[in-house]
Amino acid sequence: MSEERRLVTVLFADVVGSTALGESLDPEDLRRLLSRFYETARQVVDSHSGTLEKFIGDAAMAIFGLPQAHDDDARRAIAAALELCERIRDDPALGDRLPIRVGINSGEVVASRDPAHQDFIITGDAVNIAARLQQAADPWQILVSARTASAAGATYDLGPPQDLELKGKTCWAAPRRRPREHRWSAGTQTWPSSTSLPVAPSTSVVRTSSA
């Protein structure tokens, strides 16, 4: 099994309240809902050139930067998170039942590849931070680490950081409405409107420290 160090952006998306949902639904109905979520996540991640690394229960983990790295992997991850939230929310079968939350972080990982299955095993603190950000997020919220926000550049207006507590980490976060993506026309910057959305995804930029 070969190993290599790579700089990637990790995305975790999790269904909020799945335990309570499982208690109120027939197991087959729950399986159908989660299968629909998984397939939507796979389509969205693929469309932004990411790799859906695995599903963990009712959570999805995606990697941007493996196997193919791009200069804008952080931007791709944020765009994927936004699209995933919007597609799940707008799906009549999912939106009212499967609110999701997302955590995104960029950093160095060790990628081990199994030649027999062409799969990657990803390890590193960058993965742990992304998972903890997802756990700390509110329904329909996207928590973005400061490293990811910096790598994404001016594409998204995430606002200044403020205090946020995570397990084992000291962080700062700034709750915002959805990231606003730059759109350029004849040199003029405009912003897409989110006022018509019933529940717009919100974002936070998070800065972690070793404290």
What are the tens digits of pLDDT across the range 176-186?
444 444 332 22
| pLDDT tens, position by position, 51-97 | 998 888 889 999 999 888 999 999 999 999 999 999 998 898 887 78
- 123 Rama class: left (phi>0) / alpha (psi -120 to 50) / beta: beta
Tokens 């910057």, residue located: 189
Spans of the chain below 70 pLDDT: 1, 22, 114-119, 157, 159-211
Tokens of 55: 């599903």
Cis peptide before 201 (omega within 30 of 0): no
Q: Which of 165, 160, 191 lies closest to 176, judged by CA? A: 160
Q: Domains for the chain: give ranges and CATH numbers.
A: 2-154 (3.30.70.1230)
